Amino acid sequence: MVVSVEDVSSSLVREYLSRKGLKRTMACMDEEHPRTAASINNRSHLRQILNMEALYKNNKDSNRKRQSQRVEGPQLLTKEENTREGPPLTDPHPKRDIAQIDCTGGSRGWRSRVQRENSFGKVGPNCPEAETCPAASGLSEMVLDDVDDDDDLRDLSKVSFERTVAEPSCRGRPMDQHRAAELKTLLLGSSLNCFSVEWRNQGFTFSETHDLRYGIVQKKGGPCGVLASIQAFVLKNLLFEKVGGLQRLRPSSTCRRKCLVLATAEILWRAGEEKQATLAVNSGRNHFTPAGHYKSEGVFEKITCFTVDSIKDLQSLVEQHIEQFETGALGCVLLTISAVLSRSVEKVREDMDVPTTTLVGAHGYCTQELVNLFLCGRAVSNVFDDDMELDSGNANMTLLKGIKGHCDIGLLSLFEHYNICKVGSYLKTPRYPIWVVCSESHFSVLFGLQRELLTSMDTDLEFDLYYYDGLANQQEEIRLTVSVGKFATRCQDVDTDLIPPLEHCIRTRWKDAVISWNDTEPIL
């Protein structure tokens, strides 16, 4: 097989980085320039290609001679001779015991070579460059198939080469045109369609308004369903997972970023049925040249996918790439693609009532299928509980698929107020008092601070709910006081045309509730 200059060059660079112990640099290289089937992955093969076998043997014989000379003479001096005044006669850098140079940071859990030459650099567990990036585990080193040739490393047979159980196994897989076309068809309806500018320019950047630091800012209309969903899970971690501390609604930059990492991992892990998940990241370089019935937009061609099979590995992987999602322009697109890949294209189509449905609808709006994928891990088409069968005539039954169980995050819809749909109890009464609100073709978030309002059997309640809309250029905290039962003292002669849609949504959950906007301007 003919070996390309690029493959040889890549192998040489990887060998150099491996020898220097620059594992984080190698992780970046493996992400931006993933290995392929043509890659050279062992040193013996590389030496053969470069015609360096003879040079390698001569160099190894020279090393043996130098090593034997260092062992002779000076080490036979008596203790008294070593303590005489003047410069020491023994080697100031004796050969270290192999147990002292255990480098456990490598992706294959191998023990470091004895550091005989300065050119090898110092690699150890305390060396910053020896830290292993979770996403690159399994990629950092070339195959050490020439270790057995070194006489001074024969004792390595006594050392365990077993991979550390805690090390994640995660190999990057570059996107190809076939998979890209499948994704574009599912998301946008055709491989000739492209994401709108509003989608491509949307990341998960947080607000710097003092009272709204927890909020993700939406630049333009379109991907609000994705933004509201990730916002809801950020709030769940901030308010109820002891991440936010006392300043839950005014988190630090570090705290809210951590919540974004946890929220992203949770959404993808649920989409992968809590068995595995896939994270799509921008590698910065094209992996295929578009051809045929496919329109390029500079997004799918640059994607590398990492698949993991544990939630901890997923969280580490997301944390490593979180800047692409938080501050990167493609954050919203990458998370959507990651959710689909975690579920798989095939299962997403099986989830839908109509398999040809797209996840991004007219005008770039998120469909209910996409929002449900984020909220409950399945891209079902409906919001009622469980499945429903309808008689479509001629002894044919139509299966309508709904929500299978209680979700962490709920949903309230203005469409229910207009009797267009029925939101089931699984979404109306989620595990946490946080709801994505669908109103006027837009998604936003409503949330409370006390879980008790979901479990209280008392029909007479008064509690506060907070409202956040990332698209509305919101500048202040919106706190609503909801009164139910005996606390509700409804005003008479209310003009129904002036009732805010948000109030209608709230009353689909708490019937006849009276809602106070607490001196903030109602959103009509």
For residue 232, the surrounding DSSP H or E stretch is helix 224-240
Q: Which of 469, 486, 487 minimizes the C-alpha distance to 478? A: 469
Contacts of 194 (CB under 8 A, 6+ apart): 184, 188, 295, 297, 299
> CA 453, CA 458: separation in Å to the nearest integer?
9
For residue 391, the surrounding DSSP H or E stretch is strand 388-393
- Residue identified by tokens 């019937």 is 511
Q: How many residues in the chain?
A: 524
User: Which amino acid makes up residue 437?
Assistant: V
Would you name the residues annotated as active-site residues?
224, 442
> CA 198, CA 306: separation in Å to the nearest integer?
26
Query: CA angle at residue 34 from 32 to 37, to 5 degrees?
Result: 160
> CA 457, CA 257: separation in Å to the nearest integer?
36
DSSP-assigned letters across all residues of 395-436: TEEEEE--B-S--SSEEEEHHHHTTS----HHHHS-SSSEEE
> CA 172, CA 138: separation in Å to the nearest integer?
10
Backbone phi, then psi, for 288, in 5-degree steps?
A: -150, 155
